[in-house]
Structure 1
Amino acid sequence: MTYHRGSRAVQERVGVREVADHVGRSVGQGIRPVAAAFLELQPMLVLGAADPVGGAVWASLLTGEPGFVRATGVRQISVTGGGLRGSDPLARALATPGTSVGTIALDPRTRRRMRLNGRARPTPRGFAVEADQVFSNCPKYLQKRESYEKAERPPGTPRRSAELSPGQRRFVESADTFFLATVHAHGADASHRGGNPGFVHVTSPHELRWRDYPGNSMFLTLGNLETDPRAGLLFLDWAAGTVLQLTGTARTEYAADGERMVGFTATEVVETPAASPIRWSPPEYSPANPSLP
């Protein structure tokens, strides 16, 4: 089933159920040849899931040589040589058979992205995900980065805290992209949010806010939050490779004029210097990004 009651509730509230039904026809369980070819070109993959111990939801970044993630069946992808380090908050989830995971492969060079949600199981060389949902999104709000190079830099030691430091606040407020993991009773999802730098506001060491820009009307993310407020955020320094992960809860605020704001309360923060060995070129911002005040 493409939509659960949470997504349906948001679609009805916003008045886009018919549009959502049309878009939902593109969601399948099979990985088409064009999608399989796209995956094999990617040097990174973002995934979202809940830690089986404690239930905190996190988004994590995987990197590897192109081909480290590939379709190994009509409904399966396999990840090899690019597994999570033991210190990553989702390492335990991927080691647990049957964990619900959401994945998103995003290519800044072509401004294309593909999402695959399903259930993971460990394999001798990494892990595999059997797909429940496979679909692509439009390039809206996705910044273009022409190229990348491999940087010789070992990952730093993760730094954990209960709130954002002043430096981490500046990191978040200068971001043009972040990834958002959410869950529902029968699955997980990982999505992308983009905008001009400053589109995410840090209102306190624990609180973030951003405007929910108009999208494809599916409301998978906001639908998940309607039924389960747990969420995980991932911010990436596209040049230095630093990764900032936050877990906590999120809520959607609806204004009378139809505008939506999402508020996020962080309960734990993990910053890993040089977590990604990939150095991307500077961005060309999406023409769809709304202007900021």
Structure 2
Amino acid sequence: MTRAIQVFHTGELALQHRAGVPASYRDRVAHAIRHEMPQQHRDFFESLPVLFLGLLDARGQVWATPAVGEVGFLRSRDPGHLSVGARPQLGESLWLDVRPGAKVGVVGMELSSRRRNRMNGTIHAVNGEGFEIAVDLSFGNCPQYIQTRDLLWPANPPAPEATALPDWDARSRALVARADTFFIASRAAEMSDNPTDGIDASHRGGRPGFLTINADSSLSFPDFSGNRFFNTLGNIEADGRVGLFIPDFSSGAGIFVTGLATVDWHPDRVSGFKGAERIVDVQPEEIWYCEHALPGPAPLVSSWPMLAETGVW
């Protein structure tokens, strides 16, 4: 069994092949995906005040959501485990599955430095404060498309206040229109003991306007050049169910969406968006607007330097 088959499922491998990723590159980068966290990643996670998660609900729909706490709420007792000392935001409202055995995707980002690491795992144990994740796959990410921000979060933030929306309203449309960052969670078709079968949590960034609401209430966004792992798009190829968390960093509010995604490779449409290699469309099934989804604002310090090479709708 090659290393690539141990860390990529058939959907990811199919997308890599369609995108023309050379087998030599795929096999080389597969060795950067480990079955435990290196010390650098363990230290990194423990330094964060927020962790972005991908979790399933009781129906198998996938959601992206943050878990927040004071620095130290994330702990790693050994390379194979990460403890989260907080519950995911809207966990009860969305019926998120945080029982032992449930799959979870993790992306940690240090917004002040553009550092980013990811991990896919299985919930190993649950306690009164949160839960512990057993690592399935661990890997680093480059700083592409991350905007640098300051975290101006109070010590005692207000509790989240969430409302389910029947459709996009003026407030939620305005938030999407100014978003330069969102998080997307996706899932494999099966939730098995195979490390490649699980949930992935990832980040997307661009110029405000790179995420848009279409006339039919669907969302669209460009897929820019990345690490060519195709974790998110490979999951969409295999299953299609996704969740988005779209934060408003000016206030701490956020939008939570779950729905079904497809990937459009048509060159006429792709060429209409500068920098895009594909277009991803998401048909929402549920939309929630949440005040205080994050503890407070995180004002922009500087945008990713290459954003001028990307477009808006």
Structures share a fold, TM > 0.5?
yes
Q: Per the alignment, in what secondary structure is the counterpart of residue 27 of structure 1? A: coil
The alignment status of 1:235 with 2:241, answered yes or no, reads no
Partner AA of 2:147 in structure 1: Q
Identity %: 33
SS at match of 2:284: strand
Q: Is the 8 A contact 1:150 1:279 kept in 2?
A: no
Q: Which residue of 2 aligns with 1:107?
A: 110
- Which of 256, 260, 268 lines up with 2:286 in the alignment? 268
* TM-score in terms of structure 2 length: 0.87
- The 1:128–1:156 alpha-carbon spacing in structure 2 relative to 1, beyond 3 Å, is closer
CA distance in 2, matches of 1:71, 1:167: 39
Gaps of 5+ in 1: none
Instruction: Name 2:274's counterpart in structure 1.
Output: none
4+ residue runs over 3 A deviation? 81-88, 146-149
Structure 2 gap segments, 5+ residues each? 1-5, 191-196, 271-276
- Please report how far the alpha carbon of residue 172 of structure 1 lies from its aligned counterpart in structure 2 after TM superposition: 0.9
**2:112 is aligned with 1:93:** no
Contact 2:146 2:205 in 1 (8 A): yes
Instruction: Read off the aligned partner of 2:237 and give its amino acid letter.
Output: E
Kindly state the Cα deviation for residue 84 of structure 1 after the two structures are TM-superposed: 4.1
Residues in 2 aligned to 1:249 and 1:234: alpha-carbon distance in whole angstroms: 14
1:142 to 135, 143, 146: 146
The residue identity in structure 2 corresponding to 1:233 is L
Q: Does 1:13 align with 2:18?
A: yes
**2:266 and 2:251 mapped to 1: Cα distance?**
38
Q: 1:56/1:225 Cα in 2 relative to 1: closer, same or farther (>3 Å)?
A: same
2:186 is aligned to 182
1:219-242 C-alpha deviation (Å, 9 max, x unpaired) = 010000001010000011113111
The residue aligned with 1:207 is 218
Offset at residue 57 of structure 1 (A): 1.0
User: What is the CA–CA distance in structure 2 between the aligned matches of 1:205 and 1:272, rounded to whole Å?
Assistant: 23
* Cα distance in 2, alignment partners of residues 113 and 150 from structure 1: 23
Task: Tell me how large the CA RMSD over aligned residues is.
Answer: 1.8
DSSP 3-state at the match of 2:220? strand
In 1, are the aligned partners of 2:248 and 2:254 still within 8 Å (CA)?
yes
AA matched with 1:100: K
1:31 aligns to what SS in structure 2?
A: coil
Q: Distance in 1 between matches of 2:69 and 2:100?
A: 23
Give 3-state SS (helix, strand or coil) of 2:71's partner.
Answer: coil
